Amino acid sequence: MPETNLLLVDDLRENLVALEALVRGSGRRVFSARGGEEALSLMLEHPFALAIVDVQMPSMDGFELAELMRGTERTRHIPIVFVTAAGRELNYAFRGYETGAVDFLYKPLDPVAVRSKVDVFVDLYRQRQELLRMQEQLERAVKMRDDFLSMVSHELRNPLNALYLQAQLRQRMAAKGQPPDLAAFQKMVSRDEHQIRSMIRLLDDLLDISRARTGRLAMSPSEMDLALAARRAVEAVHDQARTAGVQISVEAPAAMGFVGDEFRLEQVVLNLLTNALRYGRGQPVAVRLRTEGREALLSVRDQGPGVPAAEQERIFQQFERGSTGGQVAGLGLGLFISRQIVEAHGGRLELRSDPGDGAEFTLRLPLPAAGA
Ligand SMILES: Nc1ncnc2c1ncn2[C@@H]1O[C@H](COP(=O)(O)OP(=O)(O)OP(=O)(O)O)[C@@H](O)[C@H]1O
Ligand SMILES: [Mg+2]
């Protein structure tokens, strides 16, 4: 919770000191001004929950200050408590300040009355700030959902369009009585398969996301080999890497025993490799598997633009994409799902990246105790 600012305006220093002692409190910052001009310039610099304004001041009286505050958007809504020595009937003399909340305190000041009045305004202010924050979060969530839906539709549309065109093509061939020869036929089928597989992957991701949100990402652990899982993942992106002209190096022991969900862990490495290919600007990618103490470390390092420090936590959240994501289609799910999977194995998924110097994602997995 950020600090709540209070503003005291009085031409007499001793009044300011006395008031300040009364309204001080934890989470509050008290500003003092010796006149209207100084008060206005402070109000343009800081947000205030409340201004306590002496009515009788020499160069600009409290009511004049209030009029000026009303004229500017930034200060219009700051509630004002006037401090006056005059009788209560004077309240009605001031009518120019209908928009903001206005209240009065009477001299000699009653410490209890001052404190409780200030407390009320501070509480109101904090509640309003809290509401504003919630509203912002909500708007952000709605926008994220909209972006997400349009992205999913887009990603489904591409393979479906391709399949549809293929179907039309075949229909035309059939109508003309010219079926494709065997080689062409095989090519068509494998293209279909590719489109269908990419839709299945997308739907699997979507299923994973709803399971991960409810903490039900099912793992089926068994004895497995991490080195083999890493090599399989590299194998799976082999064609994609070759097309993109990207070298993938693997540095791993012949085998590394582990107990975990082989398919899921391979999926994590695959996600990291896909990212490295997508965002790594065609530079070489290095996969490394080693042990460090009682942990297995499996890292995927690229030499692309890396991830700015400010985004390094956010990109692990669902639907979140970083500034590197711009040109490339993606749902912002890969890292979210990957982290859930690694954590389900009692491990961590970490990112180390100095902007401009690539990104290194590392799975840290606790190795089973020897003999266990
Ligand atoms: N190796 C990398 N280098 C630079 N940025 C990266 C790298 N890996 C991930 N990012 C950033 O993190 C974001 C989130 O990655 P994540 O894998 O979660 O989603 P995505 O790749 O956008 O979509 P998908 O759901 O298809 O994986 C990316 O959009 C990208 O901006
Ligand atoms: Mg990804």
Instruction: Decide: 115 and 21 in contact? Cβ < 8 Å.
Output: no
Q: Whose CA is nearest to atom 31 of ligand 1?
A: 322
At the fourth CATH level, the homologous superfamily of domain 4-109 is: Response regulator (3.40.50.2300)
Residue written as token pair 């709540």: 4
pLDDT less than 70: residues of the chain: 1, 86-101, 370-372
Residue written as token pair 């961590």: 348
Gap between the Cα atoms of 85 and 219, Å rounded: 74
Q: Whose CA is nearest to atom 19 of ligand 1?
A: 332
Give me ligand 2 centre to Cα 294, in Å: 29
Give me ligand 1 centre to Cα 362, in Å: 14
Q: Given the DSSP bridges, would you call strands 80-84 and 50-54 parallel, antiparallel or unpaired? A: parallel
Q: Which pLDDT belongs to residue 59? A: 86
Cis bond before residue 179 (omega within 30° of 0): no
Residue of 272, 317, 321 to test ligand 1 pocket, by largest number of atoms within 8 Å of CB: 321
Q: Which pLDDT belongs to residue 98? A: 53
Give me ligand 1 centre to Cα 140, in Å: 19
DSSP annotation string for 182-228: HHHHHHHHHHHHHHHHHHHHHHHHHHHHHHHHTT------EEEEHHH
Q: Which tokens belong to 205?
A: 């991701």
Residue of 335, 349, 350, 361 to test ligand 1 pocket, by largest number of atoms within 8 Å of CB: 335
For the chain, the distance separating the N- and C-terminal CA atoms, rounded to the nearest angstrom, is: 47
Of the bound ligands, which one is closest to the alpha carbon of residue 321?
A: 1
Give me ligand 2 centre to Cα 84, in Å: 64
DSSP H/E element including 272 = helix 262-279
Q: Which pLDDT belongs to residue 45? A: 94
Q: Which pLDDT belongs to residue 89? A: 54
Q: Whose CA is nearest to atom 20 of ligand 1?
A: 332
Domain spans in the chain, listed from the N-terminal domain onward? 4-109, 141-213, 222-366
At the fourth CATH level, the homologous superfamily of domain 222-366 is: Histidine kinase-like ATPase, C-terminal domain (3.30.565.10)
Gap between the Cα atoms of 206 and 264, Å rounded: 15
Q: Which pLDDT belongs to residue 271? A: 94
Give me ligand 1 centre to Cα 309, in Å: 14
Q: Which pLDDT belongs to residue 154? A: 76
Of the bound ligands, which one is closest to the alpha carbon of residue 329?
A: 1
Q: Which pLDDT belongs to residue 96? A: 47
Q: Whose CA is nearest to atom 26 of ligand 1?
A: 330
CATH architecture of 141-213: Orthogonal Bundle (1.10)
Pocket of ligand 1 (CB under 6 A): 271, 275-276, 279-280, 302, 304-307, 315, 321-322, 324-325, 330-336, 359
Residues 279, 280, 286: CA angle, nearest 5 degrees = 130
Ligand 1 closest atom vs CA 316: 18
Of the bound ligands, which one is closest to the alpha carbon of residue 328?
A: 1
Residue of 278, 315, 319 to test ligand 1 pocket, by largest number of atoms within 8 Å of CB: 315
